Amino acid sequence: MKIQNTFLTVDDHDKALAFYVDLLGFTTTNDVAYGGFRWVSIASPEDLGTNVVLINVGGGPDTSEADREALAALLAKGMLPGLVLSTGDVDADFARLEAAGCDVIQEPVTQHWGRDCAFRDPAGNMVRLNQHV
């Protein structure tokens, strides 16, 4: 068994794609829009079978307005679960993302297992980059 889809809430798909596809290099594997909602799947070019689906706040039309507002606030406060990515060169990635104006959470730091840094995606999700030695 393997993981096929997992979900990440974003507030603006175009901004999210500029971050995840243009800057981080993920591939768009699916892009569906319906009734004001949109589901965009992204995957690593190295593993197109493991997708992260970027969803609207609340996911679909059956979420109440109160729940949607609560989720939008939590997203903006960085309190929804984010992503941990594995990369071959944390320092090069950090330099590129910082130069592009991304919000830094943590500069590259050496850990006992390697090196890591962290950013926020445009919506406020934490994206941590790990480089194992």
Partner 1 sequence: MAPTPADLRALTRARDLMDRRYVEPLDVPAIAASVHMSAGHFHRSFREAFGETPYAYLMTRRIERAMMLLRTGTSVTDACFAVGCTSLGSFSSSFTRLVGATPSAYRAAAEAGDHDWLKALPGCVAKTVSRPMRSQPAVRPPGPA
Residue from 33, 67, 104, 132 touching partner 1 (CB under 8 A): that is: 104
Q: Does 105 bind partner 1 (CB under 8 A)?
A: yes
State which of positions 6-45 bind partner 1 (CB under 8 A).
Answer: 11
CB atoms within 10 A of CB 24: 21
Is residue 106 a contact residue for partner 1 (CB under 8 A)? yes
Judge whether 11 and 123 are in contact, CB under 8 Å: yes
Q: Contact, 129 vs 90, CB < 8 A?
A: yes
Q: What is the C-alpha separation between 51 and 42, in angstroms, rounded? A: 5
Asked if 55 is part of the footprint of partner 1 (rule: CB under 8 A), the reply reads: no
75 interacts with partner 1 by CB under 8 A:
yes
120 binds partner 1 (CB under 8 A): yes
